[in-house]
């Protein structure tokens, strides 16, 4: 049995590693990885955003494919500034300077389209239930939180970064796709999480 590491925020199906009962992975997509000091998901791909009945392709200025790493320490999906701005504007969202994130009306999450990442030729959809997150608002008094929920606000789970070519797939991605790190074969495999 090759050494494996599994990162998953929800239970998923797998026949790949049957000795682990909760892991029953199907639809495995093999991705090349780079194993050095840390395990990285290094992929080449593009981003597609549905607009009406067409797709808007979000590409780099130099038309080369994007690269991405998977990071369990990141809550959001971080991407190039121009690409994240295009996503926010295409979805008609307002940018909040205080939070440096796009705001989403909480009652409209189900109306948003899936966003597609094409990785090594395979299309991975990301649902709005995973790329939008809700934050509770609490009332503060003299720097002490009064545990009274005043309401909720919703944000797009994409943040922008200075890099023009690299994405960081954080929790918003990992909630939808479990990762199996096959250290012996230097592969990373993605499995859809159960709903």
Give average pLDDT by consecutive 10-residue segment, the chain, 195 residues.
47 39 41 39 53 60 71 87 88 90 94 83 84 76 56 88 82 83 71 71
Instruction: Using DSSP, state whether 81 is helix, strand or coil.
Output: helix
pLDDT of residue 19: 38
Cβ neighbours around 36 below 10 Å, total: 6
Beta-strand ranges (E) seen in 81-126 are 94-96, 101-104, 115-119, 122-126
Instruction: Please give the structure tokens belonging to residue 76.
Output: 């959001």
pLDDT of residue 39: 38
Question: Among positive and negative, which fits the CA dihedral 95, 96, 97, 99?
Answer: negative
Q: How far is CA 117 from the centre of its chain?
A: 9
pLDDT of residue 147: 52
pLDDT of residue 17: 39
Q: Is the pTM of this model over 0.75?
A: no
Cβ neighbours around 17 below 10 Å, total: 16
| CATH homologous superfamily of 4-192 | Acid Proteases (2.40.70.10)
For residue range 8-63, what is the model confidence (pLDDT) as tens digits?
444 443 334 333 334 434 444 444 444 333 333 344 455 666 655 555 566 666 66
pLDDT of residue 94: 95
């Amino acid at each position: 049995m090759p050494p494996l590491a599994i990162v998953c925020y929800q239970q998923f199906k797998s026949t790949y590693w049957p000795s682990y009962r909760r892991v029953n992975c199907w639809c495995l997509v093999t991705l090349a990885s780079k194993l050095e000091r840390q395990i990285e998901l290094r992929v080449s791909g593009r981003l597609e955003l549905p607009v009406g009945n067409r797709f808007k392709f979000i590409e780099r200025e130099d038309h080369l494919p994007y690269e991405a790493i998977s990071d369990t320490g990141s809550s959001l999906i971080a991407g190039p500034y121009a690409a994240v701005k295009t996503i926010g504007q295409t979805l008609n969202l307002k940018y909040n300077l205080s939070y440096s994130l796009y705001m989403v009306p909480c009652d409209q999450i189900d109306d948003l389209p899936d966003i597609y990442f094409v990785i090594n030729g395979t299309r991975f959809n990301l649902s709005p239930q995973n790329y939008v997150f809700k934050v509770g608002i609490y009332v503060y008094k003299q720097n002490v939180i009064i545990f009274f929920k005043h309401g909720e606000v919703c944000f797009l789970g994409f943040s922008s970064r200075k890099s023009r070519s690299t994405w960081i797939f954080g929790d918003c991605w990992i909630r939808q796709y479990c990762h199996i790190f096959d250290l012996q074969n230097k592969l990373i495999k993605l499995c859809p999480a159960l709903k």
